Amino acid sequence: MCNNATCITANNGEQKLDLIATKASQIDVVLVDIYIPKVSELDATSANRNQPSDPPKNLPVVATTADERWHNPKRCLDFGFNSVLPKPVSLSQLDKKLRQFAA
């Protein structure tokens, strides 16, 4: 597993947007569920991608979902996600994906 990783958590899309707006320079990768409450993850990722500065504009976003319609990597890329992890996600899959995108 990733060593010395720190997690910053949000309970919904609004909190996620606020955290990224205030802590973007401290974030290496964003791990999200596509169906996060309050602000859809599609809207939240789009909002981040439309920011004028980097970060948060180019923060890697890894989506997780049990919805098979989103298990297509091309569809996820088209919506602004860098990758998708189909649920259930194993710890080894998660570790590999986070290492791929973390600085």
Render pLDDT for 6-33 as a digit per residue (tens, 0 to 9). Answer: 888 998 888 888 998 899 888 999 999 8
pLDDT of residue 31: 92
pTM given for the model: 0.84
The mean pLDDT value for 48-61 works out to: 84
In terms of Cβ atoms closer than 10 Å to its own Cβ (0-12, 13-18, 19+), residue 3 is exposed
The candidate with the shortest Cα–Cα distance to 43, out of 82, 81, 70, is: 81
Are the beta carbons of 76 and 32 closer than 8 angstroms? no
Q: Which residues of 65-78 are buried (b: 16+ CB within 10 A; e: fewer)?
A: beeeebeeeeebee
Q: Does 97 have pLDDT greater than 80?
A: yes
Q: Are 63 and 85 in contact (CB under 8 A)?
A: yes
Q: pLDDT confidence of 79, banded at 50, 70, 90? A: confident
Q: Which residue in the block uniquely carries the two structure tokens 């720190």?
A: 6
- Give me the mean pLDDT over the 60-74 stretch: 86
